[in-house]
Amino acid sequence: MSTIILTSCLDLYEIDEKGNRIPHNFGNENGILDCLKKELKNCNNFLFVARGLDDDRTWQYYENTCKSFQITLPFKNYNILNYSTKHIAKELVENADLIFLCGGHLPTQNKFLNEINLRELLKSTNALIVGGSAGSMNCADIVYCPPEIEGESENPNFQRYLKGLGLTKINILPHYQDFKDYILDGKRYLEDIILPDSYNTKIIAINDGSFIVIKNGKEKIHGEYFIITNGKINRRNSKCNKKS
């Protein structure tokens, strides 16, 4: 059974004064690098699972991710699974040592993952699976999909529950630090959108730098996190903060 790591994001790059993304060592905050090294069996094939769009932004994200891993935790080969390579999806998944599910617009990525039937393909892999942001959210069996762009919270046809990859029952809300004062469609994001949904869905909100490890049916959270349920937010902290 694969080990799964759900992250809010990895600190893959910095942005310079011209707006260019410069890949760098993603570090070891809360012990993330130690965890990756411990759980990886081999560092031969890295597989980047895209967000469902074959655009310039996707390719830039892929290239920056690969360069950051090359600096921090190098692999021999780097591959991407998107629409251009979906015809060899089974081969890419079977040969992967680490499968990185990238971030992006959650419903868009979810649609792509279901189109390529990744849920079934992952049943035959022992690769370490790492999610970032939307990629982590899509690991759930039933994915809680909160609105995230203008108009979605007011769209009566917007689906807040989607079929996920079935790797966990956990529903996470990444980038929690960004939502405290966030307004979407004139609504307070946490108070008016997330909290009402928490009566039906338990949500674990994590800040950038925190992550969850799922191994042998057990879950361990590293770093600060918040349990959102029944209209309440409760802060927690694993008291682990390695950065070197």
Q: Element (H or E) spanning 228, and its range?
A: strand 224-229
Give the whole-angstrom CA distance, residue 211 versus residue 205.
Answer: 10
Whether residue 204 has pLDDT greater than 70:
yes
Give the whole-angstrom CA distance, residue 56 versus residue 221.
Answer: 34
Using alpha carbons, select from 75, 13, 73 the residue that is nearest to residue 37: 73
pLDDT tens, 151-184?
A: 999 999 999 999 999 999 999 999 999 998 999 9
Give the whole-angstrom CA distance, residue 66 versus residue 62.
Answer: 6
List the CATH number of the domain containing 60: 3.40.50.880
Residue 229 lies in a domain: no
Residue 187 lies in a domain: no
Mean pLDDT of 188-200: 97
| Residue 75 confidence class, pLDDT cut points 50, 70, 90 | very high
Using alpha carbons, select from 241, 54, 57, 211 the residue that is nearest to residue 128: 211
Mean pLDDT of 65-93: 97
Domain coverage including residue 54: 4-170+208-224
Better pLDDT: 80 or 217 = 80
| Residue 239 confidence class, pLDDT cut points 50, 70, 90 | low
What pLDDT score was predicted for residue 10?
96
What pLDDT score was predicted for residue 244?
37
Q: How many domains does the chain have?
A: 1
Give the whole-angstrom CA distance, residue 90 versus residue 228.
Answer: 36
Residue 224 has which token pair?
């600060």
Residue 184 lies in a domain: no
Q: What angle do CA 68, 108, 159 make, to 5 degrees?
A: 135
Give the whole-angstrom CA distance, residue 92 versus residue 143.
Answer: 24
Residue 19 lies in a domain: yes
pLDDT tens, 89-140?
A: 999 999 999 999 999 999 999 999 999 999 999 999 999 999 999 999 999 9
Residue 102 lies in a domain: yes
Residue 243 lies in a domain: no
Alpha helices in the chain (DSSP H): 32-39, 56-72, 89-95, 106-115, 118-121, 134-137, 195-197
Whether residue 237 has pLDDT greater than 90:
no
If you ran DSSP here, which 8-state letter would residue 89 be given? H
Residue 198 lies in a domain: no
Whether residue 243 has pLDDT greater than 90:
no
If you ran DSSP here, which 8-state letter would residue 168 be given? B
Confirm if 169 and 140 have CB atoms less than 8 A apart.
yes
Residue 166 lies in a domain: yes
What pLDDT score was predicted for residue 242?
47
Q: For strands 98-101 and 128-132, give the pairing.
A: parallel
pLDDT tens, 28-66?
A: 999 999 999 999 999 999 999 998 888 888 999 999 999
**Half-sphere exposure at residue 199, Cβ-oriented, CA atoms within 13 angstroms:** 5
Three-state secondary structure string covering 136-179: HHCCECEEECCCCCCCHHHCCCCCCEEECCCCECCCEECCHHHC
Contacts of 215 (CB under 8 A, 6+ apart): 3, 4, 39
Distances (CA, A) of 26 to 10, 102, 103: 6, 15, 16
